[in-house]
C-alpha cells in the first residue's frame, strides 16, 4: 500500500531493481542492480505511460548500476558485483554510448579499468571513481569527453596512502578509504570518500587537483559517506553542504540508521557539521542495514531536498532553516513482490519538475509535489 503526504504518483514503470535513474529531456535511463540487466532506456514523454525503448544487457558476474546521460552521450559503469564471485571474463571500467537515438543505443568506446563505481558528468568532463591497478581502493579522476570516442584523462587525486605501487603505505585496513563519487561546483570537487569521510578539492588547474580540506567522522560514526552535495545558494548567509551517509557496511553491528548531515563550508578550510535530519520514528535502537539515509537528488532546485531513504521511501527535507531541517512531504511506494519492505535507492528530477524514484529491488515510480 502506497503511503504519501504532499506527493502524488503520476506514473509507474515496472522494471528490475535499479541503482540509479537519470532523465535527459523526455528519456529516462535506469541502471540496474543485477545482471543480466544493465541499463534500460525509457520514453517518459507521457509520464503516465512510460515506455521501454531499449535495454542493454550484461554478462553474469558484472555490475552496471550507475548511469549518466547528457546531450546524447550516455556513460555507464562496469564493476565487480558486491559479495559475488567475479567472472573470469569480467571487464571493468567506463562504457561510453551514443544515445542520440535512444531506441538504438550504440557503444562508442570502452575505457578499461579494474572497475568503476559512481560518477558525475556535465557533458564535457566526467568526474569519476575508478579502481586502478597500483592503488588501494577507488581514486578521483577527471576525464575529458570533448571527443567521446577518444576520452582523455585530465587529472587524478588520491588520498595519501592509496598509491601502493608508488611506495605509499595506507594507515587503514582493506579498501574502506576510497572515492565514492565527486560532484563539481565551480572550481571545486566535493568528494565522498566512504569510510574516509569527505574531501574538498580545488580544480582550478584540472591537471593538478589540490586538497583544500576534509573531514572523516567514521569512526566515531559507523556509516560510510555516500554523497557530498554543495547547496548552490546561501542559507541564512552561509554556504552549506549536504552530506549523506549510506546505511550499509557499518563499523559497529548494533548501530542505528544513518541520516543526513548539514555542514557549514563558508570557511571551506574548516568544514563544520552543525545539524542533521533523521526520519521521524527511527529511534536509537539497532536497525537492519538499508533502513536509513542513502541519496539526495543531486540537482538542488530549492530548499526542499528529495532524499531516497531506503526502507522509508522518498522524504522531502526542507532546509530553509538549516539549523532545524524538517520533513515536509513523503512517499513510500508499495513493497515489491517477494520483498519485506521497500528499498528506495535513488531519486532525480526532470525538466518538468517530476521526480523519479527507483527501488533497489523493483520498479520506478514517477511522482510530483502537491
pLDDT score of 80 more than 90: no
More confident residue, 32 or 82: 32
The CATH number of residue 142's host domain is: 2.130.10.10
The pair phi, psi for residue 57, each rounded to 5°, is -105, 160
Give yes or no for a contact between 291 and 247, defined as CB atoms under 8 angstroms apart. yes
Complete DSSP assignment for 44-55: -SSTTS-EEEEE
Using CA atoms, how far apart are residues 201 and 186, in angstroms rounded to an integer? 11
Distance (Å, rounded) from C-alpha 317 to C-alpha 328?
6
What pLDDT is recorded for position 265?
98
Q: How far is CA 364 from the centre of its chain?
A: 16
Rounded to whole angstroms, how far apart are CA atoms 48 and 326? 30
d(CA 272, CA 24) in angstroms, rounded, equals 35
- The CA distance from 87 to 237, in Å, is 52
Average pLDDT, the chain: 96
Q: Does residue 83 carry a pLDDT above 70? A: no
CA 331 – CA 353 distance, rounded (Å): 16
Average pLDDT over residues 150-163: 98
Q: Cell for 124?
A: 564535457
What pLDDT is recorded for position 283?
84
Q: Whose CA is closest to 145, among 131, 128, 126, 130?
A: 126
288-347 pLDDT per residue, tens: 999 999 999 999 999 999 999 999 999 999 999 999 999 999 999 999 998 999 999 999
Distances (CA, A) of 134 to 78, 137, 154, 168: 19, 9, 19, 10
Stated as kind and residue range, the H or E segment containing 314 is: strand 314-318
Number of domains making up the chain:
1
365 within 8 A of 322, measured Cβ to Cβ: no
For residue 46, the enclosing domain spans: 3-369
Burial class (CB in 10 A: 0-12, 13-18, 19+), 193: buried
- Residues 78/119, Cβ–Cβ less than 8 Å: no
* Cβ partners under 8 Å of residue 202, min gap 6: 187, 188, 209, 210, 211, 212
pTM of this structure: 0.96
The pLDDT of residue 85 is above 70 = no
Q: Is the peptide bond before 118 cis (omega within 30 degrees of 0)?
A: no
- Our measurement of the distance from residue 356's CA atom to the centroid of its chain's CA atoms, rounded to an integer in Å, reads 14
Q: Exposed (0-12), middle (13-18) or buried (19+): which is 228, by Cβ within 10 Å? A: buried
Interval 99-117: pLDDT, tens: 999 999 999 999 999 999 9
* Bridge partners, residue 5, by sequence: 330
Q: What is the pLDDT of residues 166-215, one digit of tens each?
A: 999 999 988 989 999 999 999 999 999 999 999 999 999 999 999 999 99
Give yes or no for a contact between 43 and 366, defined as CB atoms under 8 angstroms apart: no
Helices (H), 211-349: none
- Name the β-bridge partners of 261: 243, 276
Q: Which of 203, 176, 150, 182 is nearest to 68 (CA)?
A: 182
Amino acid at each position: 500500500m502506497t503511503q504519501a503526504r504532499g506527493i502524488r504518483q503520476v506514473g509507474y514503470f515496472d522494471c528490475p531493481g535499479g541503482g540509479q535513474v537519470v532523465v535527459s529531456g523526455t528519456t529516462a535511463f535506469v541502471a540496474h542492480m543485477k545482471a543480466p540487466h544493465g541499463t534500460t532506456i525509457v520514453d517518459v514523454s507521457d509520464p503516465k505511460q512510460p515506455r521501454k525503448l531499449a535495454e542493454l544487457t550484461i554478462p553474469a558476474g558484472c555490475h552496471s548500476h550507475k548511469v549518466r546521460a547528457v546531450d546524447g552521450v550516455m556513460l555507464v559503469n562496469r564493476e565487480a558485483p558486491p559479495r559475488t564471485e567475479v567472472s573470469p571474463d569480467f571487464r571493468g571500467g567506463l562504457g561510453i554510448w551514443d544515445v542520440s537515438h535512444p531506441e538504438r543505443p550504440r557503444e562508442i568506446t570502452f575505457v578499461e579499468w579494474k572497475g568503476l563505481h559512481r560518477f558525475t558528468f556535465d557533458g564535457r568532463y566526467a568526474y569519476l571513481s575508478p579502481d586502478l591497478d597500483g592503488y588501494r581502493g577507488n581514486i578521483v579522476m577527471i576525464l575529458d569527453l570533448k571527443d567521446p570516442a577518444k576520452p582523455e584523462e585530465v587529472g587524478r587525486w588520491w588520498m595519501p596512502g592509496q598509491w601502493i605501487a608508488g611506495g605509499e603505505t595506507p594507515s587503514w585496513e582493506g579498501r574502506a578509504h576510497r572515492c565514492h563519487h565527486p560532484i563539481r561546483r565551480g572550481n571545486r570537487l566535493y568528494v565522498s570518500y566512504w569510510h574516509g569521510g569527505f574531501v574538498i578539492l580545488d580544480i582550478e588547474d584540472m591537471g593538478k587537483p589540490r586538497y583544500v580540506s576534509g573531514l572523516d567522522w567514521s569512526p566515531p560514526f559507523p556509516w560510510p559517506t555516500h554523497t557530498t552535495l554543495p547547496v548552490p545558494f546561501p542559507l541564512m548567509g552561509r554556504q552549506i553542504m549536504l552530506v549523506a551517509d549510506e546505511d550499509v557496511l557499518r563499523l559497529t553491528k548494533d548501530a542505528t540508521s544513518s541520516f543526513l548531515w548539514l555542514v557549514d563550508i563558508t570557511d571551506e578550510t574548516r568544514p563544520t557539521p552543525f545539524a542533521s535530519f533523521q526520519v521521524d520514528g527511527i529511534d536509537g535502537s539497532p536497525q537492519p542495514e538499508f533502513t536509513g539515509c542513502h541519496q539526495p537528488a543531486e540537482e538542488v532546485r530549492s530548499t526542499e531536498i528529495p532524499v531516497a531513504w531506503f526502507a522509508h521511501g522518498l522524504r522531502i527535507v526542507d532546509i530553509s532553516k538549516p539549523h532545524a531541517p524538517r520533513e515536509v512531504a513523503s512517499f513510500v511506494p508499495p513493497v515489491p513482490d517477494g520483498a519485506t519492505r521497500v528499498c528506495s535507492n535513488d531519486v532525480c528530477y526532470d525538466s518538468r519538475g517530476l521526480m523519479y524514484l527507483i527501488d533497489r529491488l523493483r520498479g520506478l515510480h514517477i511522482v510530483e509535489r502537491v
